[in-house]
Chain A
Amino acid sequence: DGGITQSPKYLFRKEGQNVTLSCEQNLNHDAMYWYRQDPGQGLRLIYYSQIVNDFQKGDIAEGYSVSREKKESFPLTVTSAQKNPTAFYLCASSIAAGSKTEAFFGQGTRLTVV
């Protein structure tokens, strides 16, 4: 059953802590993306990766970090430098970046700072 798996579904973080959100895909896609969704703001791009061991900053990368050591995995770390981390985080993948093909999304992780 192919798709994108994000975990956990819900995550609570204390202020000052780093947390890592998991994203795994078994679609054999080269490109992977992280978006942040806030009410009324749409989806804003945090980071994207076109290929293993390579990634680029999106529009709101400050306070976030990523790695792409394996084709299947693109974890996102929300650092303590991110001032307002409470949001719904979505991971996506596509065959290739800019390929005019469908981007498949995971079910999201809702992060709450307590």
Chain B
Amino acid sequence: QQQVKQSPQSLIVQKGGISIINCAYENTAFDYFPWYQQFPGKGPALLIAIRPDVSEKKEGRFTISFNKSAKQFSLHIMDSQPGDSATYFCAASSTLGGNSGYALNFGKGTSLLVTP
């Protein structure tokens, strides 16, 4: 009953290229959409987050695009660097709770490799 679907499972991008990871959700009560970055053997760390009242949020090389009507959101990493190589997770939660909605519901993750 995965509530957030993420693709692709893995991604290889050349240095300087754009990395794009997509997520889709079904629960219209979700109102908070963060992206987390995880390095091997470490806990995830918040990268960037968006709320549904805006369609785009940019922080440095990282941009979230949000399409409320399509129930989709994506992460764009511009000028990708080898140091960006990590696993990325999208997530969603709801202030209304219900069916674990209070807690973050995660996608299955995307393993990104940026080649030199």
Chain A residues with a Cβ under 8 A of chain B? 4, 6, 31, 33, 35, 40-45, 48, 50, 56, 58-59, 90, 92, 97-100, 102-108
Secondary structure of the A contact surface, majority rule: strand
Contacting residues, chain B, for A92 (C-beta < 8 A): 43, 104
Interface size on B, residues (CB 8 A): 32
> Do residues B44 and A105 form an inter-chain contact, with CB atoms below 8 A?
yes
Contacting residues, chain B, for A103 (C-beta < 8 A): 34, 46, 104
Contacting residues, chain A, for B32 (C-beta < 8 A): 98, 100
> Do residues B103 and A33 form an inter-chain contact, with CB atoms below 8 A?
yes
Render B89-116 as a binary contact track against A, CB cut-off 8 A, 1 for contact.
1000111110011111111110000000
Within 28-69 of B, Cβ neighbours of A (below 8 Å) are at 31-32, 34, 36, 41-46, 49, 51
Contacting residues, chain B, for A45 (C-beta < 8 A): 100, 103-105
Contacting residues, chain A, for B94 (C-beta < 8 A): 98
